[in-house]
Amino acid sequence: MRLHPRTQAAKESVFPKMSALAQRLGAVNLGQGFPSNPPPPFLLEAVRRALGRYDQYAPPAGLPALREALAEEFGVEPESVVVTSGATEAIYVLLQSLVGPGDEVVVLEPFFDVYLPDAFLAGAEARLVRVPLEEGGFRLDLGALERAITERTRLLLLNTPMNPTGLVLGEAELQRIAELAHRHDLFLISDEVYDELYYGERPRRLREFAPERTFTVGSAGKRLEATGYRVGWIVGPKAFMPTLAGMRQWTSFSAPSPLQAGVAEALRVARREGFYEALREGYRRRRDLLLSGLSTMGLKAYPPQGTYFLMAEVPGFDAFRLLEEARVALIPASAFYLEDPPEGLFRFAFCKKEEELTLALERLAPVVNSLA
């Protein structure tokens, strides 16, 4: 007996693999992006209160209270929101719903690992557009994006703030992307799970420029520091949303009810009490701590404009050697590229305690210097 060839999508993801190795070797885990700090108490309390009250299925489109809270945030009607089991399910359901065999999906490279398997499982072909890494960092090449569009392209899949580069698309870029999509009649998926994690001005959203064709993906796990809750969402054109809700019935039917209820309440508290400002402040501090530590070591790091990731060069090492010799877990750039990743480039997650960042720097310094 043989499994279906589509199971070739089932390769092991590097993120949990690095976490397991880090744990086994007592390494500092700056690999998989999950916060070391606990979620805010107001979220934990809201979830605890929801247990015993919301214990049965939620509607596939989402608990009304959560759809309403999100509708308020995004300035849309609740009917424009569908709740999913994490942003990962949102992206799967969108790819299944928007594209199929014969269609092309344009994806930026480096990419988050779910995009390509999701395109493959939908039977579509991913066309990669490299985001070049220059002296000053990563920069979107709009010309290359435009050249990647063929008559078979149906969808552009973007991620801003972008994992792993930390790139945040500016207004002029969003405008150009919207024009491109309009001209070629394309759908847009904007993965904005790090929407509250930016270090400059509050970014605009792609959907503001092309509301009729944009699906915005979001995540309570990222916003509220609880990646295990698996509560995500899609905000999109109202006419398409009942169908998306119908499609997500066949994956997990509905996201866990008590977590949806807790998140609905917590999203309101977070906005009202300035939680995101404090979150950004904390991450800005940790980003700067890591950047300055790396530069003291003589390593080239690329400051991110958003997310809790940064890319830096540790030439002459691979991730396993760093794990064994320095006992620091990082994600190698190769996890985000189909081929030819930039040499010696690693992703550092700084959603970790300051002590962990300091310890990682202390452990890296002698190992890195041993090569100098």
Helix, strand or coil, per DSSP, at residue 296: helix
Residues in the chain: 372
Residue 57 or 320 with smaller CB distance to ligand GLN? 320
Q: Residues 6, 7, 9, 16: which binds ligand GLN (CB under 6 A)?
A: 16
Of the candidate spans 11-19, 178-186, 209-217, 295-303, the one that interacts with ligand GLN by CB under 6 A turns out to be 11-19
Quick one: how far is CA 37 from the chain centroid? Answer: 19
Q: Determine the interface stretch with ligand GLN among 12-20, 154-162, 277-285, 286-294 (rule: CB under 6 A).
A: 12-20
Residue closer to ligand GLN, measured from CB, 33 or 306: 33
Stretch that binds ligand GLN, among 10-18, 65-73, 144-152, 170-178 (CB under 6 A): 10-18
21 versus 142: smaller Cβ distance to ligand GLN: 21
Identify which of residues 32 and 214 has a Cβ nearer to ligand GLN in the complex: 32
Backbone angles phi, psi at 225, to 5 degrees: 65, 40
Kindly determine how many residues on this chain lie close enough to bind ligand GLN according to the rule CB under 6 A: 6
Residue 337 touches ligand GLN, criterion: CB under 6 A: no
| Distance, CA of 372 to CA of 319 (rounded, Å) | 18
- Rounded-to-integer distance, Cα 22 and Cα 40, Å: 26
Q: Is the CB of 16 or the CB of 100 nearer to ligand GLN?
A: 16
Question: Closer to ligand GLN at the Cβ: 168 or 241?
Answer: 168
Q: Which residues of 28-54 are buried (b: 16+ CB within 10 A; e: fewer)?
A: bbbbbbbbeeebbebbeebbeebeeeb
Tell me the C-alpha distance between 337 and 331, whole Å: 12
Taking the least distance from each CB to ligand GLN, the nearer of 209 and 302 is 302
Q: Is 327 exposed, middle or buried, given 0-12, 13-18 or 19+ CB atoms closer than 10 A?
A: middle
Task: Decide whether 37 or 150 has the Cβ nearer to ligand GLN.
Answer: 37
CB of 16 to ligand GLN, least distance (A): 6
x/- track of binding to ligand GLN for residues 23-52 (CB under 6 A): ---------xx-------------------
Q: Rounded to an integer, what distance in angstroms lies between the CA atom of residue 256 and that of residue 320?
A: 37
* Bridge partners of residue 232, in order along the sequence: 84, 219
Distances (CA, A) of 258 to 50, 107, 181, 234, 267: 5, 34, 38, 19, 14
The residues in 256-315 that bind ligand GLN, with binding defined as CB under 6 A, are none
Beta strand segments in 102-228, E: 104-109, 125-130, 133-134, 137-138, 153-159, 187-191, 214-219
Tokens of 176: 């150009």
Taking CB under 6 A as the criterion, the residue among 6, 7, 9, 13 binding ligand GLN is 13
**Element of type H or E holding 297:** none
Minimum distance from residue 51 beta carbon to ligand GLN (Å)? 26
Q: Partners of 346 in the beta sheet?
A: 312, 332
Q: Which long-range contacts (CB under 8 A, 24 or more apart) does 360-363 make?
A: 360/28, 360/30, 360/326, 360/328, 361/290, 361/293, 361/294, 361/297, 363/28, 363/326, 363/327, 363/328
Closer CB to ligand GLN, 33 or 236, in the complex: 33
Task: Compute the least distance from the CB of residue 133 to ligand GLN, in Å.
Answer: 18
Site string for ligand GLN, 119-158 (x = CB under 6 A): ----------------------------------------
Binding mask 157-196 for ligand GLN (x = CB under 6 A): ------x---------------------------------
Least spacing, CB of residue 32 vs ligand GLN, in Å: 5
List contacts with ligand GLN (CB under 6 A).
Answer: 13, 15-16, 32-33, 163
